[in-house]
C-alpha cells in the first residue's frame, strides 16, 4: 500500500480512480486467507462504493475537496458515524441506536474528501494494549501469522487493516499507547497528538484527561496529513527538519528496563544510525519517569475516569462485558475523590518538572514497546496477560501521562521481529515532532516499504 501523497498523485493524473482503490481494499478484505472479518467489526461495501463513485464525479468535474479526495480511511469502532451504531468493540452497546450525526473528526475527514471505510475491531472500550477482543475475535499480527501473535491494542483492527493493505490509513485513539503499540507490533507508523489539539466529541471515552485521536499509516507523511485534517486545517504533510544537529535525549530510567533482546538490539542500531547521520544523542537520567508507576499505584487516573463513565452501565449490563476488561474497570471503584484529586496534582507537577528538564531537546527517543508480540495462546493465563499488558503499555503511556505528542516508526530489519522506535515531543509541538519523524524515518527504517 502506498503513502497518501503517492495515492493522491495517481488519482490526480488519472492512473487510478477512487472506485478502483475501494475495490482493491475490498478485495484484500475478502481474501479468505486474510484477517478481514476480524480486522473489521462491520464494513458496508455498497456504501464505500457509492462514496467512491461520488468522489470520482467530483474529481471529474474539477470540484475535489482536497488532493486526497476519494481515499479510504478505516475508522475505529469508537467514533460516531451518522446512520451507524458505535459499539466500541463491545456487546454492551448492541442495543444502542445508530448515531444521528458524525463525530467532529469524521466530519472533518469527509470535508477533505476522505471516505470512511468500515468500522475496525478494537479492544473492548479501548482498555488494553494487547488488542484482543473476546466478542468479535482478535485480528492476527502480520508477523509470523501462522503462530497466532497478538496485534497490539487497542486500535488492533486499524493496524492490521493498514498492514494488510485493506486501507491506506486508519483513524484511532490513544489513551495509553493505542495507536503506537499496534503500529509498532504491525510494522507501520502510529501517531498520538497532544490530547487537546483534536476534539473528541461523539467519541466513546476511556479517560478524558488522557484520550487523544491519532492515526496509523504506512509512513509519517500520511499521518501528518491526517493530523492536519483532524485539527481542522488544510491537509498538509510534515515540513523539512534537518537530522544533522537534532538533539535527541535517551531516557535511562524506566523505558529501557527489561527490554527483549530483539528490541534492545534494534534500538541500539537505530541510535547508532541516527548518530552517524549527525543527530546529537544525549543520555538523560530522567529518574522522574520512575514516579509515574508510584503515582498510579493507588489505581491511576485512567482507571478512575474510566469507572466514572462505566459505573452506571455496569449496574445493568455487567454480564455483557468481557470479564477481563470489566475487572480492570472495577479497579476504579476502589478509589475515592481525594485519591483522584491528589493523582491529578502529582501528574501536573511531574509534567512541569519534566518539561523543564527536557526543554533543550527536540525529542526523547526510546523503544515503543519493550517486547515483541507474544502469541494469543500465551494470553489465556489471566495473570500472565495482565503483567504482559502492563509491560506493553509502559513506554507508550509515558507520553500520555506527560501530556505530550509521540510517534512510533518501524526500526527493525525486514523479516525480523517488529520493533518500533518512539519519538516523544513537547506538549503542543506536534508539527515539529512530525517534521523530525519524517526526517528520521528513512534513516532508521532500513528498506521497509
Sheet holding 189-192, edge to edge: 40-42, 115-120, 72-76, 169-174, 212-217, 189-192, 406-410, 420-424, 363-367, 247-251, 280-284
| CA 405 – CA 425 distance, rounded (Å) | 5
Cell of 390: 502492563
Pairing outcome for strands 363-367 and 420-424: antiparallel
With the C-alpha atoms ordered 434, 440, 445, 449, is the resulting torsion angle positive or negative?
positive
> Which of 154, 156, 215, 266 is flagged as catalytic?
154
Range 4-230 has CATH code 3.90.1300.10: yes
The residue among 189, 180, 139, 195 whose CA lies nearest residue 4 is: 189
Query: Which residue do the cell numbers 491537509 mark?
Result: 235
State yes or no: is 178 an active-site residue: yes
Residue 426, SS3 per DSSP: coil
pLDDT at 424: 99
DSSP 118: E
pLDDT at 51: 98
Query: Which residue do the cell numbers 472506485 mark?
Result: 19
pLDDT at 96: 95
> Which of 3, 55, 64, 76 is flagged as catalytic?
76
Q: Are 397 and 176 in contact (CB under 8 A)?
A: yes
CB atoms within 10 A of CB 53: 15
With the C-alpha atoms ordered 297, 303, 308, 310, is the resulting torsion angle positive or negative?
negative
The residue among 251, 46, 222, 41 whose CA lies nearest residue 137 is: 41
pLDDT at 449: 45
Report domain extents, the chain.
4-230
* pTM reported for the whole predicted model: 0.98
Q: Are 216 and 183 in contact (CB under 8 A)?
A: yes
Q: Which residues contact 412 (CB under 8 A, 6 or more apart)?
A: 187, 262, 266, 418, 419, 446
Residue 250, strand partner residues: 283
Prior bond of 154 cis (ω within 30°) = yes
Q: Are 119 and 84 in contact (CB under 8 A)?
A: yes
Q: Are 286 and 252 in contact (CB under 8 A)?
A: yes
| CA 342 – CA 217 distance, rounded (Å) | 38
Tens of pLDDT along the chain (449 residues)? 699 999 999 999 999 999 999 999 999 999 999 999 999 999 999 999 999 999 999 999 999 999 999 999 999 999 999 999 999 999 999 999 999 999 999 999 999 999 999 999 999 999 999 999 999 999 999 999 999 999 999 999 999 999 999 999 999 999 999 999 999 999 999 999 999 999 999 999 999 999 999 999 999 999 999 999 999 999 999 999 999 999 999 999 999 999 999 999 999 999 999 999 999 999 999 999 999 999 999 999 999 999 999 999 999 999 999 999 999 999 999 999 999 999 999 999 999 999 999 999 999 999 999 999 999 999 999 999 999 999 999 999 999 999 999 999 999 999 999 999 999 999 999 999 999 999 999 999 976 44
Residue 214, strand partner residues: 172
Phi, psi of 249 (to 5 degrees): -100, 135
DSSP 79: B
| CA 220 – CA 127 distance, rounded (Å) | 26
Residue 314, SS3 per DSSP: helix
Cell of 323: 470479564
Q: Are 245 and 357 in contact (CB under 8 A)?
A: no
- Burial class (CB within 10 angstroms; exposed 0-12, middle 13-18, buried 19+) of 95: exposed
**Cα 271 to Cα 185, 358, 447, distances in angstroms:** 19, 18, 17
The residue among 132, 289, 154, 124 whose CA lies nearest residue 214 is: 154
Residues constituting the chain? 449
> Which of 55, 90, 178, 385 is flagged as catalytic?
178
pLDDT at 446: 78
Residue-wise pLDDT for 184-241, tens only, equals 999 999 999 999 999 999 999 999 999 999 999 999 999 999 999 999 999 999 999 9
Residue-wise pLDDT for 51-67, tens only, equals 999 999 999 999 999 99
Amino acid at each position: 500500500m502506498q503513502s497518501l501523497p503517492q495515492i493522491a498523485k495517481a488519482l490526480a493524473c488519472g492512473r487510478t480512480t477512487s472506485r478502483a482503490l475501494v475495490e482493491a481494499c475490498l478485495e484484500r478484505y475478502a481474501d479468505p486467507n486474510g484477517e478481514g472479518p476480524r480486522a473489521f467489526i462491520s464494513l458496508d461495501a455498497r456504501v464505500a462504493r457509492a462514496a467512491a463513485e461520488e468522489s470520482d464525479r467530483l474529481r471529474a468535474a474539477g470540484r475535489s475537496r482536497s488532493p486526497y479526495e476519494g481515499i479510504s480511511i478505516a475508522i475505529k469502532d469508537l467514533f460516531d458515524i451518522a446512520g451507524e451504531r458505535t459499539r466500541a468493540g463491545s456487546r454492551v452497546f448492541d442495543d444502542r441506536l445508530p448515531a444521528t450525526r458524525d463525530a467532529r473528526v469524521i466530519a472533518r475527514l469527509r470535508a477533505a474528501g476522505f471516505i470512511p471505510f468500515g468500522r475496525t475491531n478494537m479492544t473492548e472500550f479501548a482498555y488494553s494494549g494487547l488488542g484482543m477482543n473476546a466478542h468479535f475475535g482478535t485480528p492476527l499480527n502480520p508477523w509470523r501469522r501462522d503462530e497466532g501473535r497478538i496485534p497490539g491494542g487497542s486500535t488492533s483492527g486499524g493496524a492490521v487493516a493498514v498492514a494488510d493493505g485493506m486501507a491506506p490509513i486508519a483513524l484511532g485513539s490513544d489513551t495509553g499507547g493505542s495507536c503506537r503499540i499496534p503500529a509498532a507490533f504491525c510494522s507501520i507508523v502510529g501517531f498520538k497528538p497532544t490530547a487537546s489539539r483534536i476534539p473528541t466529541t461523539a467519541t466513546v471515552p476511556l479517560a478524558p484527561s488522557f484520550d487523544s485521536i491519532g492515526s496509523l499509516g504506512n509512513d509519517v507523511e500520511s499521518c501528518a496529513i491526517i493530523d492536519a485534517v483532524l485539527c481542522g486545517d488544510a491537509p498538509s504533510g510534515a515540513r523539512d527538519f534537518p537530522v544533522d544537529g537534532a538533539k535527541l535525549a535517551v531516557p535511562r530510567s524506566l523505558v529501557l528496563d527489561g527490554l527483549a533482546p530483539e528490541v534492545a538490539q534494534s534500538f541500539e542500531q537505530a541510535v547508532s544510525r541516527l548518530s552517524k547521520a549527525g543527530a546529537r544523542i544525549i543520555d538523560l537520567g530522567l529518574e522522574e519517569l520512575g514516579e509515574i508507576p508510584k503515582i498510579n499505584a493507588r489505581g491511576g487516573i485512567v482507571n478512575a475516569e474510566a469507572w466514572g463513565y462505566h459505573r452506571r452501565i455496569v449496574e445493568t449490563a455487567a454480564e455483557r462485558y468481557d470479564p477481563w476488561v470489566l475487572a480492570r474497570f472495577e479497579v476504579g471503584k476502589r478509589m475515592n475523590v481525594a485519591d483522584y484529586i491528589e493523582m491529578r496534582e502529582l501528574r501536573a507537577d511531574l509534567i512541569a518538572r519534566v518539561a523543564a528538564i527536557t526543554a533543550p531537546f527536540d525529542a526523547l527517543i526510546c523503544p515503543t514497546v519493550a517486547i515483541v508480540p507474544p502469541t494469543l495462546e500465551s494470553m489465556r493465563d489471566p495473570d500472565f496477560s495482565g503483567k504482559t499488558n502492563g509491560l506493553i503499555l509502559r513506554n507508550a503511556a509515558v507520553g500520555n501521562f506527560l501530556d505530550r505528542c509521540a510517534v512510533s516508526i518501524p526500526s527493525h530489519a525486514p523479516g525480523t521481529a517488529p520493533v518500533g522506535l518512539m519519538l516523544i515531543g513537547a506538549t503542543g509541538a506536534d508539527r515539529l515532532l512530525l517534521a523530525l519523524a519524517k526526517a528520521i524515518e528513512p534513516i532508521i527504517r532500513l528498506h521497509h516499504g
